[in-house]
Amino acid sequence: MSVVLIRPLAVRTVAVSDPGDLLSRLPDAMPYAWIRHGEGLVGWGEAARIVIPPGPDRFDRAREWLGSLFDGARIDDEVEAPGSGPVAFGSFTFDGDAAGSTLVVPRTVLARRGGRAWLTTIGEAGSVPVTSPVEPGRIRYGDGTLTAPEWEQAVARAVRRIRSGTLDKVVLARDLTATAERDIDTRVLLSRLAVRYPECYTFSVDGLTGATPELLVRHTGRSIESLVLAGTTPRGAGPAEDAARGVALYASGKDRHEHACAVASVQEALAPLCSTLDVPARPELLVLPNVQHLASRVSGRLSDGASVLDVVAAMHPTAAVGGTPTGTALRVIRELEGMARGGYAGPVGWIDSRGDGEWGIALRCAQISGRRARLFAGCGIMAGSDPVAELAEAQAKFRVMQYALEG
């Protein structure tokens, strides 16, 4: 277990006046962010970090490390709200056997929520100059692990497996490489994503950057909420076509079954943790600038003092990003995708010292490193899936990060 920290943490949170655009306050350094509708948290600097070894106990190790770190901290918090006091931003790999899961406690966190704003500093944070974001310039794209025809073949193989009765659903992802003229300034991507996709959760943790529509869990006190997405169609060329696509999606037996599988997996994971659980009988339509989704908002009340990481551990991977049954779907993913997902489709978000936090599924995202970006998109494959249509859906999902890179 790789650990870097300043111990003990001396943490101070104070109320501040409205800072305006949170993302505009980020310095030119590895930024941390979780923003929706202009509210949330941004952070920079590093007071503590852990790289969590892969394995079935990785969430337990993360929780234990945070508990030890936060229990030993000297915390002066005049705000006492979810996200005040010390906060860790985190990203867990999709595959529990893959390396790369990380938690970081920034030295400085600036937050705004519900008409309040606050600043948290750890130790002698000092001021960091904020420079103007730099555009990445011209972008060149290249194939990722599989070409488009190869990925269509993988989808066709998955459909045959499903029709044979091996499994009900599998989510197959593909990647795309992008190379910019200049080093990619994550702040540029975050600002574009937050403006164009305000309904999504714009995030950045250790170079994994995106705008996910899928809230895995929001934990406040003993209340939890999850937004389940499964079943997708691209937006239409005009209002009439757009409305028709939404109606067709809602009426699609294939997409409704896919959605029902995803909701059932979330319900099964949350039921043992909750004293009450509200699961909608029917989905709603979530309309985003690039696609429409079938969506269900699940809410509940925890029966004990579980932290948000306990809930994340119970829920991941959901059927929306893995498939059903889970074990079989994961084996098929490893066989057919031919790539390491890294943090893509894994949990990403934040947790505070009270165990509150918000975690999403890292979708519509890219891993940024210098001038290079690795983009990801995935589709739920069912017995009735058409490889050509699934490729078109993946391409529609790639457009989120292509827009972030190109503007």
404 CB burial (10 A radius; 0-12, 13-18, 19+): buried
Q: Are 48 and 4 in contact (CB under 8 A)?
A: yes
Task: Measure CA 265 to chain center.
Answer: 18
The closest of 210, 204, 193, 211 to 27, measured between CA atoms, is 204
208 CB burial (10 A radius; 0-12, 13-18, 19+): buried
The pLDDT of residue 262: 87
Q: Alpha helix (H) ranges present in 316-386?
A: 326-337
Q: For residues 83, 315, 264 and 200, what is the CA-based torsion angle, rounded to 10 degrees?
A: 40
Angle at 305 between CA 1 and CA 32, to 5 degrees: 50
Q: Indicate the pairing of strand 215-220 with strand 365-369.
A: unpaired
Which residue of the set 46, 152, 169, 390 is catalytic?
Answer: 169
Give me the residues paired with residue 258 across strands.
none
The pLDDT of residue 137: 97
- pLDDT tens across the length of the chain (407 residues): 555 555 689 999 999 999 999 999 999 878 999 999 999 999 999 999 999 999 999 999 999 999 999 999 999 999 999 999 999 999 999 999 999 999 999 999 999 999 999 999 998 766 788 899 999 999 999 999 999 999 999 999 999 999 999 999 999 999 999 999 999 999 999 999 999 999 999 999 999 999 999 999 999 999 999 999 888 888 888 899 989 999 999 999 888 988 888 898 899 999 999 999 999 999 999 998 888 999 999 999 998 888 999 999 999 998 889 999 999 999 999 999 999 999 999 999 999 999 999 999 999 999 999 999 999 999 999 999 999 999 999 999 999 999 999 99
Q: Are 322 and 329 in contact (CB under 8 A)?
A: yes
Q: Are 34 and 350 in contact (CB under 8 A)?
A: yes
Fold of the CATH domain 2-127+139-406: Anthranilate synthase (3.60.120)
Q: Which two tokens stand for residue 93?
A: 């790999």
Q: Indicate the pairing of strand 74-77 with strand 10-15.
A: parallel
Which residue of the set 46, 152, 214, 337 is catalytic?
Answer: 214
Instruction: List, in order, residues 6 or more apart from 360 with CB less than 8 Å away.
Output: 201, 203, 212, 214, 215, 216, 347, 348, 349
Angstrom distance (rounded) from CA 392 to CA 381: 13
The pLDDT of residue 126: 66
The pLDDT of residue 257: 87
**Known catalytic residue at 169:** yes
Angstrom distance (rounded) from CA 175 to CA 194: 22
First to last CA, the chain: 39
Q: Are 278 and 187 in contact (CB under 8 A)?
A: no
326 to each of 62, 288, 322, 391, how far by Cα in Å? 23, 28, 6, 23
The pLDDT of residue 291: 87
Q: What is the 3-state secondary structure (H, E, C) of 137-195?
A: CCEEEEECCCCHHHHHHHHHHHHHHHHCCCCCEEEEEEEEEEEECCCCCHHHHHHHHHH
The pLDDT of residue 258: 87
Amino acid identity of 328? T
Instruction: List, in order, residues 6 or more apart from 384 with CB less than 8 Å away.
Output: 253, 254
Q: Where are the domains of the chain?
A: 2-127+139-406
